[in-house]
Amino acid sequence: MIRLEAVTKVYPSPQGEVRVFEDLSLSLERGSQTVIMGASGTGKTTLLHILAGIDRPTSGRVLVFDEEIYGWSVERRAEFRNRKVGMIFQFFHLLKEFTAQENVALPLLIGGANKRQALARAEELLVRCGLKDRLSHRPSQLSGGEQQRVAIARALSASPELLLLDEPTGNLDWKTARQTVEFIKETIADLALTILLVTHSQEVASLFPRTLLLRNGALEALPGGGQEGQG
Ligand SMILES: Nc1ncnc2c1ncn2[C@@H]1O[C@H](COP(=O)(O)OP(=O)(O)O)[C@@H](O)[C@H]1O
Ligand SMILES: [Mg+2]
């Protein structure tokens, strides 16, 4: 469903340009689950931003169902991001002054949904995420694992097709991390979502069928998982 073709990314900087990757290609089939590993600074976050339509590559193409998203208008790309892409981050990025329910409703409100429906959908998602009794809690009143589940509910609120997770368990202990990943896998099992997850954890990667290593600006397939042959 989404494909990077010969993508190069160079950031200009006063100390000289930063060449993040060159001629990178990647194909994500609809409903596939892929992990990317790689040392800090290798460009994992940059890659997710390029896929989300947030950061334009220096050259190369990003195709969603064969359409080049960086050929679209800014508005069309913003709509793509809002409706089709869910993002989950290491530090949750929940808004402190809002309740769990309001945080989850926010993308729907931004997308133009009416408030009552957005809050009802948020409640439904939070119940599904096992947070029925936390609807009115603010982020500071929730544990790390609970905050990440709120962030997952928020990422799912607009029924995206692509879920991008940037070190989603990087801030959680292993037990909570494992529960969170299992929860993600259960929650998406019936949604036919395409997932790309960045992690430093070999244990987390082992829970997914396909792992790629980003190194020296290139992606290589890593053995392991192995239920899927695609590389
Ligand atoms: N907006 C930016 N401007 C300049 N350099 C950047 C910018 N964003 C990231 N970089 C550089 O690009 C490289 C890759 O960054 P990043 O994608 O955040 O790596 P990772 O997520 O793998 O740690 C790093 O060297 C970083 O310093
Ligand atoms: Mg990063």
Q: DSSP letter for 193, please.
A: -
CA of 41 to the centre of ligand 2 (A): 7
CA of 171 to the centre of ligand 2 (A): 13
Task: State the CATH number of the domain containing residue 142.
Answer: 3.40.50.300
Q: Which H helix or E strand runs over 1?
A: none
pLDDT in tens, 74-102: 999 999 998 899 999 988 899 999 999 99
The number of the ligand nearest the C-alpha atom of 20 reads 1
The ligand 1 atom at the shortest distance from the C-alpha of residue 40 is 23
CA of 85 to the centre of ligand 1 (A): 21
> Which of 11, 21, 47, 212 has most ligand 1 atoms within 8 Å of CB, for mutation?
11
Ligand 1 binding residues, C-beta < 6 A: 11, 13, 18, 20, 38, 40-46
- Confidence grade of residue 183 (pLDDT, cut at 50, 70, 90): confident
Which residue has its alpha carbon closest to ligand 1 atom 1?
A: 11
**Is 121 inside any structural domain?**
yes
**Is 169 inside any structural domain?**
yes
Strands (E) across 29-66 are located at 33-37, 59-64
- Give the pair of three-digit tokens for residue 124: 């439904």
- Confidence grade of residue 225 (pLDDT, cut at 50, 70, 90): low
CA angle at 121 for the pair 118 and 126, rounded to the nearest 5°: 125
Which residue has its alpha carbon closest to ligand 1 atom 8?
A: 46
Domain that holds residue 145: 30-55+83-222
pLDDT in tens, 107-160: 999 889 999 999 999 999 999 888 999 999 999 999 999 999 999 999 999 889
pLDDT at 226 exceeding the cut of 90? no
**Is 190 inside any structural domain?**
yes
Counted domains in the chain:
1
Which residue has its alpha carbon closest to ligand 1 atom 9?
A: 46
Residue with tokens 């991390």: 177
**Is 78 inside any structural domain?**
no
**Is 88 inside any structural domain?**
yes
**Is 163 inside any structural domain?**
yes
**Is 48 inside any structural domain?**
yes
**Is 12 inside any structural domain?**
no
